[in-house]
Amino acid sequence: MLTAHLPDHLRAAIDELARQHPTTGLAAAARRLSEAYRQHGGYRVESPLEAAAYAASRMPATFAAALSAFREVRLPIASVLDLGAGTGAAAWAAKSVFGEATEVCTNEPNAHLRAVGEKLHCEKVDWRAGDYRNLSGLAPHDLAVFSYSLGEVPPGVALEVLERAYLLTTKGIVIVEPGTASSFGFVLQARRLLIELGATIAAPCPHKGDCPFATGTDWCHFAVRVERSRLHKLLKGGDLGYEDEKFTFLVALREPPPGPERFSRILRHPFVEPGSVTLQLCTASGLSSAAIKAKDKAHFKAARKSDWGGRWTV
């Protein structure tokens, strides 16, 4: 499993932000936000304290998930439109993947989250107010991203917003949502719409046919491991030095990215036994299982290094 590391200057900025509030208040605010999310499916941030608690408790995980999705774009990206930016996790992830010179335009309606995002200070980021469902006045960008934001919009409206956002891009769009069955159901709707609009589904799907998870009880999701700071452990109430963020995502591009045209996606942790590695795969022809034996030395070595969510090009 990929382990994501927050940029040192972002971690330091979050720690500095947290020092401006009492630790007990931050912890209580983090608990309130978490409970509100479980009840309403979204974060209701209503004060600077809650915005700071959100940044400290959730920003590492949302950064890590966006980082994983952006790595699947595999194209040079000069500008990103971040819609529903929160405190700017996707902006930081975009610069980590595409380079510090990448220009990011963020749109975040919540004034408290926006103020924290500006305070955390990421270079070449233009922070804008307003409802990200209203895209009027926004210039075209190479890439648009909805990071844990589009799923909070009612489904009918969300698909309209998605179509308008896609039309504002020159290279494509990225959607990241929680790794739940309901979020995956929404991503499936987004996938169908983007295919109708002529997009190439670059990730996670190895094809643009019907999703094999469209029926049944399982769903397509992945995980990234996030390092926890002392503050993060305190706010989340855990002792481990990491947490695993489960997410579902979609990368839809106007042109196919470079690289192997045929690949399979590893859908679960590889099952390793003495002399064998078994991979659960999504392939161009559907779901399959591949058992790679030690006698197949080249492929066995690759299988032992593979991970959940990775590509399998053998």
pLDDT per position as a tens digit, 142-154 = 999 999 999 999 8
Closest residue by Cα to residue 270 from 224, 296, 244, 309: 309
Q: What is the mean pLDDT of residues 65-74?
A: 97
CA 243, chain centre distance (Å) = 15
β pairing state of 200-203 and 271-273: unpaired
pLDDT at 244 over 70: yes
The phi, psi pair for 199, rounded to 5°, reads -75, 150
d(CA 291, CA 16): 49
Q: Rounded to 5 degrees, what are φ and ψ at 231?
A: -65, -45
- Can you tell me the distance from the alpha carbon of 246 to that of 84, in angstroms, rounded to the nearest whole number? 20
Both tokens of residue 157? 């409206």
Mean pLDDT of the chain: 93
pLDDT at 260: 67
Would you say residue 258 has pLDDT above 90? Answer: no
d(CA 252, CA 254): 7
Give the phi and the psi of residue 63 in degrees, each rounded to 5: -60, -45
pLDDT, one tens digit per residue, over 163-197 is 999 999 999 999 999 999 999 999 999 999 999 99
What pTM, to 2 d.p., does this model score?
A: 0.95
Model pLDDT for residues 11-65, shown as the tens digit of each residue: 999 999 999 999 999 999 999 998 888 877 778 899 999 999 999 999 999 999 9
Q: In the prediction, which pLDDT does 122 show?
A: 82
Other beta carbons less than 10 A from residue 78's beta carbon: 14
d(CA 269, CA 271): 6
272 has a pLDDT exceeding 90: yes
Contact 165, 193 (CB under 8 A): no
pLDDT in tens, 109-159: 999 999 999 999 888 999 999 888 889 889 999 999 999 999 999 878 999
DSSP letters of 182-214? HHHHHHHHHHHHHHHTT-EEEES-SSSS--TTS
Q: Which two tokens stand for residue 121?
A: 């200070």
Domains and CATH numbers, the chain: 3-253 (3.40.50.150), 264-312 (no CATH)
List phi, psi (to 5°) of 248: -120, 150
Looking at residue 45, its pLDDT comes to: 95
Q: 203 falls in which pLDDT band (50, 70, 90)?
A: very high
Query: Which run of H or E residues covers position 232?
Result: helix 230-236
What pLDDT sits at residue 212?
Answer: 93
d(CA 302, CA 314): 9
What is the band of 216 on the pLDDT scale with cuts at 50, 70, 90? confident
The residues near 231 (Cβ < 8 Å, ≥ 6 apart) are 14, 15, 18, 56
Task: Please check the confidence at residue 218 and state whether its pLDDT lies above 80.
Answer: yes
Contacts of 177 (CB under 8 A, 6+ apart): 148, 150, 151, 183, 184, 186, 187, 247, 248, 249
14-22 contact pairs (CB < 8 A, 24+)? 14/55, 14/56, 14/59, 14/120, 14/231, 15/229, 15/231, 17/52, 17/55, 17/56, 17/116, 17/119, 17/120, 18/52, 18/56, 18/231, 20/52, 21/48, 21/49, 21/52, 21/53
Q: DSSP code of 151?
A: G
Give pLDDT, residue 192: 97
